[in-house]
């Protein structure tokens, strides 16, 4: 639960408004936008918890998912990590050595080590740029829709001291009918549950309503994100060797290095594929296999407070909280029957293929249930100093 001496405390921040969320979503700087999205989710999570108590809401999980996404969006650390790991793979150094030697024969003045770094760097950059772009678009896509509805819900319904059917119906009337990805029927259901939970005195019934709402928003969110998730996971297999060659040669033979490029052009005009082309093609094929596995491992990691580093491809090892050990809500049971193939068990909760929506939802269902009552999930996303910088529209220093 947020505390007064914690940066995540309700007392230390304003309640996010629809206008503020629209402003954040409209930012064109992906890194700053992601950081502000993460903080806004943290703010919304705390506002909701101030009324419901320490029960995780969808924004609680979205805070840490957005913070994790930021690592991919910023991509600098990811590039360095992938570069080092790929260099350790068999065959990569041999291919880089051949390419460097061929480039030097064409007149490249860089050292072998510099040519290695340039060549592999272009491949890694192509992958991380694609992954970063896809993750950033997904981060924005979900935020500008779902966070906006949370802000609207808080403004319209959260001050109610007694259940008012007209209030929640008026709120839901502005949501699009029909299933996702275009319809918002699951959002309407979810906010109806959240509203009912505000006035439910029985702790278990309230917890089940909250879990059901989280899952309904989760299903809507994950359905909407399907294209961006698939694109980010497949970033490595969409590398174009021709683009790698062109960028590499432009770096190695800038301006006055026309002679080396002219020799390559001469070979191609007479129907020959240069040894350099073949070597780069081979390196790209080798790197694609390794980078895809490494990138997938990076994307399939989620860290939630205090120090839970979850591998999304592995089964969860947590336990269900007492209020959610035995479920009774018929709507919740009906939804779980569709998305949880191992009822009341964490068996096979790991998603072996994160691009597969049913596997993804199985993991998310168990994640939401296991960590529903975890107080640490309301920890501050950033330090007080970092938060001050963000409020000024600056990218903070330090570990983000």
Ranges of each domain in the chain: 10-391
Closest CA to 173 of 193, 155, 148, 153: 153
Q: Residue 200 — pLDDT band, cuts 50, 70, 90?
A: very high
Q: What is the pLDDT of residue 258?
A: 55
Six-digit token pair at 158?
A: 């959260």
The string of DSSP codes covering 286-321 is HHHHHHHHHHHHHHTEEEETTTEEEETTS-------
| Residue 291, pLDDT above cutoff 90 | no
pLDDT digits (tens, 9 = 90+) for 175-197: 999 999 999 999 999 999 999 99
- Mean residue pLDDT of the chain comes to 90
What is the C-alpha to C-alpha distance for residues 299 and 322, in angstroms, rounded to an integer? 31
Could you tell me which residue, 336 or 296, shows the higher pLDDT? 336
Six-digit token pair at 110?
A: 């860089």
% helix, strand, coil for the chain, step of 5? 65, 0, 30
Q: What is the pLDDT of residue 203?
A: 96
Q: Residue 262 — pLDDT band, cuts 50, 70, 90?
A: low
What is the C-alpha to C-alpha distance for residues 323 and 33, in angstroms, rounded to an integer? 36
What is the C-alpha to C-alpha distance for residues 123 and 142, in angstroms, rounded to an integer? 29
pLDDT digits (tens, 9 = 90+) for 319-371: 999 999 999 999 999 999 999 999 999 999 999 899 999 999 999 999 999 99
Q: What is the pLDDT of residue 259?
A: 54
Q: Residue 54 — pLDDT band, cuts 50, 70, 90?
A: confident
Mention every residue, 6+ apart, whose C-beta is less than 8 A from residue 319.
370
What is the C-alpha to C-alpha distance for residues 231 and 146, in angstroms, rounded to an integer? 21
Q: Residue 267 — pLDDT band, cuts 50, 70, 90?
A: low
Q: Name the residue with tokens 């291919």.
A: 95
What is the C-alpha to C-alpha distance for residues 168 and 172, in angstroms, rounded to an integer? 6
What single-letter DSSP state applies at residue 55?
-
Sign (positive or negative) of CA dihedral 350, 353, 359, 363: positive
Q: What is the pLDDT of residue 9?
A: 47
């Amino acid at each position: 639960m947020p505390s007064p001496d914690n940066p995540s405390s309700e007392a230390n921040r304003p309640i996010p408004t629809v206008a503020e969320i629209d402003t954040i979503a409209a930012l064109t700087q992906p890194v700053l936008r992601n950081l502000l999205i993460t903080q806004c989710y943290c703010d919304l999570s705390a506002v909701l918890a101030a009324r419901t108590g320490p029960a995780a809401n969808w924004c609680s999980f979205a805070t840490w998912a957005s913070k994790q996404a930021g690592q991919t969006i910023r991509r600098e650390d990811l590039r360095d990590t992938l570069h080092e790991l790929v260099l350790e793979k068999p065959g990569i150094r041999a291919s880089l050595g051949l390419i460097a030697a061929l480039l030097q024969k064409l007149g490249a003045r860089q050292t072998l080590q510099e040519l290695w770094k340039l060549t592999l760097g272009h491949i890694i950059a192509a992958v991380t740029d694609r992954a970063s772009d896809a993750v950033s678009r997904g981060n924005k896509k979900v935020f500008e829709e779902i966070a906006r509805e949370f802000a609207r819900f808080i403004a319209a319904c959260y001050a109610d001291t007694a259940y008012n059917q007209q209030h929640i119906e008026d709120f839901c009337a502005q949501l699009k009918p029909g299933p996702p990805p275009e319809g918002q029927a699951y959002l309407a259901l979810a906010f109806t549950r959240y509203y009912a939970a505000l006035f439910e005195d029985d702790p278990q019934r309230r917890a089940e309503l909250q879990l059901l709402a989280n899952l309904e928003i989760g299903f809507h969110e994950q359905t909407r994100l399907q294209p961006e998730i698939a694109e980010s996971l497949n970033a490595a297999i969409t590398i174009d060797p021709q683009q790698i060659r062109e960028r590499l040669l432009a770096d190695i033979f800038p301006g006055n290095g026309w002679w080396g490029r002219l020799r390559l052009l001469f070979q191609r005009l007479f129907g020959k594929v240069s040894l350099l082309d073949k070597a780069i093609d081979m390196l790209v094929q080798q790197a694609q296999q390794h980078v895809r596995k490494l990138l997938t491992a990076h994307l399939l990691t989620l860290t939630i407070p205090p120090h839970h580093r979850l591998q999304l491809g592995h089964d969860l090892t947590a336990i269900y909280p007492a209020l959610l050990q035995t479920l009774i809500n018929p709507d919740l049971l009906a939804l779980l029957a569709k998305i949880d193939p191992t009822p009341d068990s964490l068996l096979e909760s790991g998603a072996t293929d994160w691009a597969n929506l049913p596997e993804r939802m199985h993991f998310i269902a168990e994640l939401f249930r296991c960590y529903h009552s975890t107080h640490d999930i309301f920890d501050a996303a950033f330090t007080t100093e970092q938060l001050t910088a963000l409020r000024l529209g600056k990218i903070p220093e330090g570990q983000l």
